[in-house]
Structure 1
Amino acid sequence: MSSSRPPLPPFDAARAALKARRAEDAWNRRDPHAVSLAYTPDSVWRNRSEFLQGRAAIVDFLAAKWQRELDYRLIKEVWAFGGDRIAVRFAYEWRDADRRRLRSYGNEQWEFDAAGLMRRREASINDVAIDEDERRFTWTATCGPRIPRA
């Protein structure tokens, strides 16, 4: 039996924003196993052109992602919500092993079960090369969650 993962559907603006922020914080910690616990055991994903199902596949996918996408920093923002669904837009910055910097932009559609676990995730993502002086997401990874600028 899966445990509950508040906030639970149906989502209002505040609960949708909290759900997105908790996802952002978890992904920024880059712990594949911990992140996978927010998904149903049989969760279905589309990430770019890759299709996965289940927590073990999610853990493997995220472990490989964060081995490849170094200095990863992510920001998510709710785009729309209703019932058991939330749509977010996001951007994240990272560098590859050759020290090239990139910013990735995307949209995700999320569907949750009654316990607040994500049962479906659809992500469309595009990458843009950036120069070091174009970076926007520069908080220290070890300092914890992102703190919005005043």
Structure 2
Amino acid sequence: MEQKFPLPPFNPESAKQKVQLAEDAWNTQDPVKVSMAYTPDSEWRNRSVFVNGREGIIKFLTEKWQKELGYKLKKELWAFTDNRIAVRFEYEFHDEKGQWFRAYGNENWEFDENGLMQKRYASINDVAIAESERRL
């Protein structure tokens, strides 16, 4: 059986580790690598887009990182329970015209017994920033 450590139930240390692993994976901008942290039938809501399964995740992230250039992400543990984690995050990117943005949001994650994320719900908003305002 495929497992992704740490496994639930989470404690403060394992929840922080899970968040850091997610941040590290997303910052690779490798859609296939990122997709492997999710169940094969994972369910997402990302803003107003609904994504299902690893193939959907790969397609979504490939398109995302073709548009969001110079992507850099920071995640922070907000709360956790047995098999759920809530995070606050921000990331910065620029578009093809060179306009920089900072995105802020919250994610709610639910994991199966093997430590794979089966649900991810993200609420995100973007703010245009000057390059000199970048923090990440």
Distance 2:94 2:71 in 1: 7
Alignment of 1:1-150 (within 5 A): 1=1, 3-137=2-136
Distance 1:128 1:35 in 2: 25
Distance 2:16 2:75 in 1: 9
TM-score (norm 1): 0.90
Distance 2:5 2:101 in 1: 32
SS of 2:60 mapped into structure 1: helix
Give a deviation string over 1:80-138, Cα, whole Å, max 9, x none.
0001000000000000000000000000000000000000000000000111110001x
Give a deviation string over 1:53-94, Cα, whole Å, max 9, x none.
100000000000000000000000000000100000000000
Where structure 1 has 5 or more consecutive residues not aligned to the other structure, the ranges are: 138-150
Q: How far is 1:22 from its partner?
A: 0.3
Distance 2:51 2:133 in 1: 33
SS of 1:27 mapped into structure 2: helix
Distance 1:64 1:53 in 2: 15
Distance 2:117 2:58 in 1: 15
Which residue identity does 1:38 align to in structure 2? A
Q: How many residues align?
A: 136
Distance 1:48 1:132 in 2: 24
SS of 1:7 mapped into structure 2: coil
TM-score (norm 2): 0.99
Distance 2:56 2:3 in 1: 21
| Identity level (%) | 60
What is the Cα-based RMSD across aligned positions, in Å?
A: 0.5
Where structure 2 has 5 or more consecutive residues not aligned to the other structure, the ranges are: none
Distance 2:82 2:15 in 1: 10
